[in-house]
Structure 1
C-alpha cells in the first residue's frame, strides 16, 4: 500500500515515522527518511533530523516520548534540535497542531488507524511565503477535510 501511495503522490521526499514492520529494503526506493518504530526489527535510526530549504524536521517514532499521553516530552526534544516540524507516529492517530511556533504532525496510519475510523497519511507542502500546508488523505487519495491546516513557521 505504501508503494502505491508513494507512486501516486510523487513527493520530493518521504518521511516514515516507524512501524514499517517489514525488511527495510522492502520500502519504496525514493528519497526517504525512516526511523525505527517499536514494532520494527530492522536496524534503523531511532531519530533523525532532515532539512529541506529553510525547514528543519525532527523525525521519531514517538514511543520514547510518550506521545500517546502528551506532546510535552517531544516538544522539549524538538526545541533541543531546533526543528520547525516534528514528525512522529506510534499512536496511529492523526495529529496536526502548532505549539510555540513549531508544527507537530502524526500522519496516522495507512493500515491500522486507532481512535479514528479512516486510515490516513499526511502531505506537507510549502509556499513562497513560508506557510506550510498540511493535508491528510485516505490511502485511496481522498482528502480528509477535517484534518490538517496551514501554518506560518517563520
Structure 2
C-alpha cells in the first residue's frame, strides 16, 4: 500500500493538483494533514482525505481521521496543533495509542521527518508552501509492504530528498 502525505499547503491549489497527478498511478490513498486553507469541496482537494488545521477557517473538515490500512493496522491523521506537536510528540502518540493506531501523520510544524516511537511510526511531510528548518518544500510517500514501512520525502517538484528517507518495521501491521 502506498500513501501520499501532504500538509500545510496554505492556499496553494496548482501544486496540490500537480502532486496528486504526478503520483496518481502509484498511490492507493492521498492524505492532507491540514492547513489547506481551502473550502471542503475545492477541486484541488479532490481525492485527498483532509483534516482541519489551525488555519482552516473555511472548510468543514474533521479534526481527526482514523483510517484503516491494507493488511491491518490503522493510520491516525491530525494536524497536530491540538496535540502540542511543536513541544513534544508524546501527546499525539498517546492519542494514537487511545485510538489503536500504528501510524501517525501530522503537520503544523512545517518540518519534515519520520521516526519510530515505541512501535508507532510518526510522519510529518513538512510543507509544500512554507518550509521550516530545511529549504525544500516537501511532501512524503509512505510505502507499506507487510510489516515494513518506508517513508520517502520529495520536493514539490518531485525530486527525492535522500537524507530524510526512513525504513522501519511495524509490529501491528502484517
TM-score range (shorter-chain normalised) is over 0.9
**For 1:15, which of 31, 35, 41 is the aligned residue?**
31
Q: Quick one: distance in 2 between partners of 1:18 and 1:28?
A: 11
Q: Quick one: distance in 1 between partners of 2:77 and 2:142?
A: 14
Q: Does 1:151 align with 2:151?
A: no
Q: Does 1:118 align with 2:140?
A: no
TM-superposed deviation, 1:17? 0.4
TM-superposed deviation, 1:150? 0.7
TM-superposed deviation, 1:130? 1.8
Q: Does 1:89 align with 2:107?
A: yes
By relative contact order (CA 8 Å, sep 6+), the higher-ranking structure is 2
Give the TM-score taking structure 2 as reference length: 0.84
Q: Quick one: distance in 2 between partners of 1:84 and 1:148?
A: 19
Q: Report the counterpart of residue 7 of structure 2 in structure 1.
A: none
Q: Quick one: distance in 2 between partners of 1:143 and 1:126?
A: 18
Q: How many residues align?
A: 152
TM-superposed deviation, 1:15? 1.0
**For 1:136, which of 141, 149, 153 is the aligned residue?**
153
**For 1:48, which of 44, 47, 65 is the aligned residue?**
65
Q: Quick one: distance in 2 between partners of 1:94 and 1:47?
A: 20
Structure 1 stretches of 4+ with a deviation exceeding 3 A read: none
**For 1:2, which of 16, 20, 26 is the aligned residue?**
16
Contact 2:79 2:106 in 1 (8 A): yes
Gaps of 5+ in 2: 1-14
Q: Quick one: distance in 2 between partners of 1:108 and 1:55?
A: 24
Contact 1:33 1:50 in 2 (8 A): no
Give the TM-score taking structure 1 as reference length: 0.95
